[in-house]
Amino acid sequence: MRFLRIGPAGAERPALLLSADAEAAYDLSEVTPDIDGSFLATLGPERRADLAARAEAGEFPRLPLAGARIGAPVARPGKVVCIGLNYRDHAAETGQAIPAEPVVFMKASDTVVGPYDEVLIPRGSAKTDWEVELAVVIGARARYLDSVEAADAVIAGYSISNDVSEREWQLERGGTWDKGKSCETFNPLGPWLVTADEVADPQALALRLSVNGEPRQDGSTANMIFDVRYVIWYLSQFMVLEPGDVVNTGTPAGVAMGTPGQPWLQPGDVMELSIDGLGAQRLPVGKA
């Protein structure tokens, strides 16, 4: 099952997509005001089955996708928590050691934009970079989970995330990662939230990113140092994860920082991202 939000920024409608190739989604406005934490907290198997049955029976209005703006599939998250250096090949390309524990940082919630929205290079930026990532969307409160396996019960689903980063500000301006990660538009998300039951193995997904049609990243979640379950369990020992929170789980090799010549993003560039079964993003690059 795929959830998405359709419409102008700030006025998106919650919607359900029954298949990846459908030409229209189903408007869930009569069921929930938005795809947010309150809705995700109720999204158990019975609720999902009921929504699918009602959609197939024609109970919900249809929203054509052609020409429609697709927003981020989760309304402004309470938290965006990120894991750095979580792929062996990415750690190697940046010349850093494999971390003994997950590297944790945060992004501002208002960095989240839609999967086809413009990404803005900040004023004064010289080193804006890309990072395709598997995003985990939380569906139940996670506080001191007692086992790695318990993470399964708190995951609502998965999406594509682009952890856009300004490397100079992240690494050369005092060592505080957040200020190189929290610029406006720095977290495109979507197009869909795919429920966890539809993702057979989150550790067997191919991730890809190209810039202007040139392949840059081509990796697999199998190369994660800390897998999805471990990351969610680990975070729950340090903070409370709430329904609607988003966890970015790291990026494979191929970022501009680790590429010869360091081809940083420029206005006019176009980034295209995909993850198996989770759809694709196409993001034009502009300037703030």
Is there a single domain that holds both residue 137 and residue 254? yes
Q: Which string of DSSP letters, residue by residue, matches 83-146?
A: EES-BHHHHHHTT-PPPSS-EEEEE-GGGEE-TTSPEEEPTT-S-EE--EEEEEEE-S-BSS-S
Tell me the residue range of the domain where 22 lies.
2-69
Question: In the listed set 69, 95, 117, which residue is the last one of a domain according to the structure?
Answer: 69
Is there a single domain that holds both residue 220 and residue 134? yes
Provide the residue count of the chain: 288
Is there a single domain that holds both residue 167 and residue 49? no
Is there a single domain that holds both residue 182 and residue 236? yes
Is there a single domain that holds both residue 217 and residue 107? yes
Is there a single domain that holds both residue 183 and residue 210? yes
Which of 119, 201, 224, 190 lies closest to 152, judged by CA? 201
pTM (predicted TM-score)? 0.97
CB 156 within 8 A of CB 169: no
Is there a single domain that holds both residue 56 and residue 174? no
Is the previous residue joined to 122 through a cis bond, with omega within 30 degrees of 0?
no
Is there a single domain that holds both residue 257 and residue 118? yes
Tokens in use for 21? 């190739």
Question: Count of CB atoms within 10 A of residue 257's CB?
Answer: 18
Grouping H, G, I as helix, E, B as strand and the rest as coil, residue 261 is coil
- With helix as H, strand as E and coil as C, how does 147-197 read? CCHHHHHHEEEEEEEECCEEHHHHHCCCCCHHHHCCCCCCEEECCCEEEHH
Residue-wise pLDDT tens digits, 53-98: 999 999 999 999 999 999 999 998 999 999 999 999 998 898 888 9
Tracing tokens 């340090």 back to the chain, one arrives at 238
Residue-wise pLDDT tens digits, 131-189: 999 999 999 999 999 999 999 999 999 999 999 999 999 999 887 788 999 999 999 99
Is there a single domain that holds both residue 215 and residue 158? yes
pLDDT confidence bin for 224, thresholds 50/70/90: very high
Residue type, 3: F
Is there a single domain that holds both residue 100 and residue 47? no
Is there a single domain that holds both residue 6 and residue 79? no
Please give the Cα distance from 67 to 206 (Å, whole number): 28
Is there a single domain that holds both residue 106 and residue 162? yes
For residue 148, the domain's CATH number is 3.90.850.10
DSSP single-letter state for residue 241: B
> What is the count of structural domains for the chain?
2
Question: In the listed set 69, 91, 111, which residue is the last one of a domain according to the structure?
Answer: 69
